[in-house]
Chains A and B, each alone.
Chain A
Amino acid sequence: MSHAAVRSEPEDATLVLAMTQGDAAAMSALYDRYAPNLLGLALRITREQADAEEVVVDTFAQAWRDAARFESERGSVAAWLATIARSRALDTVRSQARRGRLADAAEAEGVSNTAPAMGSAFPSPVANLLADERSRRIRDALMVLPDTQRIALDLAYFEGLSQTEIAERLGEPLGTIKTRVRLGLRKMRELLTALGPGGAG
């Protein structure tokens, strides 16, 4: 994650609290912290710059509207924003009925069975990743994940596929996919925990 993750969570939560009072400056600060990461996430899912930007716009609009519903005991602000952005991005892809087209394209490019996967660097069209030490460390740590597990997580998280769909896509038994998803995410947690406080958030 960018400079966002090294900030303390109470500050993030304070910004969200201020947003509930209509404080636009708080929203601006939150944008500065997380927008680069959210745009990266949105790009990974939508694969189109214009769609990804729209997802970021929608994500902050929803965060503004729903700020009062944020509960810090349920997770960090970063995780909250990521959840919103992922949901919005998947909605965008689905609403455009692009899933099939993207899957075909991905298959043709061999994307499903190779990179990019969870935590790996996405070959962004803008291709100018920010030089951020923490993000790099997270990505490096996650490269330890076995490819099979990363791909299963990737398809579930970034493409929003069900486990049955993942099994069909990869031609693997459903039970195998369930195991990969479970073990992959557990391993991811361990790797990020090993990075130290805030590693996962």
Chain B
Amino acid sequence: MSDTSRHPSHELVEEYVLDLLEGAERANFEARLALDPGLAQGVVAAREALAASALSTPVALPPGLKARVMAHAVVAPAPSAATTETKILPFAPTRRSRAPLWLGAALAASLLAIVKLSADLKQQRATTTEALAAVVRSAAVVGQRDSMIARLTDPSLELVTLASTGDARPALKVYLDRKRRTALLSVASLETAPTGQAYQLWFIVDGKPVPSVTFNPGTDGRALVQDVALPEGTVVATAVTREPTGGSPAPTSPVLFVGSLKAEK
């Protein structure tokens, strides 16, 4: 990663460790923190200083406190054990659908009709099939567009505009659908990545970058990536870096764009 020590976020380390950053400012800081080892180092050092100071006034322990601590804590199951429980659900017979009955009848009726008319329709069949296929294709496209429009106009959708960390002014927007745990990435005016490289989207979860899709705009600078899966956990920000084609498990280059999300309800 390149030298990012002069980034304004470094001026916010003290406020961050004291929990004095809020909202978007905090989310932006955490997004950068997840991708900037120098910043992370500064945060660790500041936390250690605070802890050393805060813990510099030991007091005598009252009798019985240790017993309370041990009883209270150890009675609870260890975390690794607690989270691996598998729920066993009661078996429920699959509800039989009625669809095959009427569908079968309809198919049978259609078959008879087709047989009866087969001779007359023989000449027209090829044309009809072709037209039907075209209609189906068109319907699919329209359906996809309708679906996308419906999703983009869903009031629960969250729009995150990723701001450039440099001088470039491309527009990157992420439409988040937290209910379906998917996102749509829209890119405009972004230059194509150099040969052997691609842009990679990251979601920041628990202070760590989680790799997502790679993308590359066309010559018109545009790209649209649908159905991007959201990772598990609370996503607090998104970011984009440039990585080798195929993507990286962890960022290897500076953050180009970053955008914070609203706090998840």
In chain A between 173 and 201, which residues have their CB closer than 8 angstroms to a CB of chain B? 178, 181-182, 184-186, 188-189, 192, 199-201
Distance, CA A55 to CA B168, complexed state (A): 49
Q: Are A129 and B50 in contact (CB under 8 A)?
A: no
CB distance from A66 to the nearest CB of B (A): 6
**Which of A31, A61, A130 sits near B58, CB closer than 8 Å?**
A130
Q: Are B69 and A56 in contact (CB under 8 A)?
A: yes
When distances are taken between beta carbons in the complex, the residues of chain A under 8 Å from B60 are 36, 126, 128-130
CB distance from B60 to the nearest CB of A (A): 5
By beta carbon, the residue of chain B nearest A32 is B66
Q: Are B56 and A135 in contact (CB under 8 A)?
A: yes
Q: Are B66 and A67 in contact (CB under 8 A)?
A: no
- Total A-B Cβ pairs within 8 A: 199
Q: Is A151 positioned at the interface, with any CB of B under 8 Å from its CB?
A: no
- Once A31-B70, A35-B65, A57-B69 are accepted as A-B contacts, the answer to whether A40 and B76 lie under 8 Å apart by CB is no
Q: Is A93 positioned at the interface, with any CB of B under 8 Å from its CB?
A: no
The digit string for B45-88, where 1 denotes a CB below 8 A from any CB of A, is 11111111111111111100110111011101011111000000
**Which of B50, B79, B80, B207 sits near A185, CB closer than 8 Å?**
B50
- Which listed segment binds B: A95-103, A105-113, A156-164? A156-164
Q: Are A156 and B18 in contact (CB under 8 A)?
A: yes
The tally of residues in B whose CB lies under 8 Å from a CB in A reads 43
When distances are taken between beta carbons in the complex, the residues of chain B under 8 Å from A61 are 69, 72-73, 76
Q: Are B45 and A200 in contact (CB under 8 A)?
A: yes
Q: Are B55 and A124 in contact (CB under 8 A)?
A: no
**Which of A65, A68, A132, A157 sits near B50, CB closer than 8 Å?**
A157
Q: Are A142 and B53 in contact (CB under 8 A)?
A: yes
**Which of A27, A139, A189, A199 sits near B74, CB closer than 8 Å?**
A27
Q: Is B17 positioned at the interface, with any CB of A under 8 Å from its CB?
A: yes
When distances are taken between beta carbons in the complex, the residues of chain A under 8 Å from B50 are 79, 82, 157, 185, 188
Distance, CA A65 to CA B11, complexed state (A): 34
Distance, CA A108 to CA B59, complexed state (A): 26
A-B contact sample (7 more), CB < 8 A, given A31-B69, A41-B55, A86-B54: A4-B55, A49-B62, A74-B44, A79-B50, A118-B54, A130-B59, A182-B15
* In the complex, the 8 A-B pairs of residues with the closest C-beta atoms, listed nearest first: A36-B58, A37-B55, A79-B51, A200-B48, A82-B51, A40-B57, A64-B73, A185-B14
17 contacts between A and B (CB under 8 A): A1-B55, A5-B55, A37-B58, A43-B59, A57-B73, A61-B69, A66-B79, A69-B79, A74-B207, A86-B54, A135-B55, A160-B19, A162-B22, A182-B11, A185-B14, A188-B49, A200-B49
Chain A: residues with CB nearer than 8 A to chain B? 1-2, 4-5, 19-22, 24, 27-28, 31-32, 34-41, 43-44, 49, 53, 56-58, 60-61, 63-69, 73-76, 78-79, 82-83, 86, 118-119, 121-122, 124, 126, 128-130, 132, 135, 138-139, 142, 153, 156-158, 160, 162-163, 178, 181-182, 184-186, 188-189, 192, 199-201
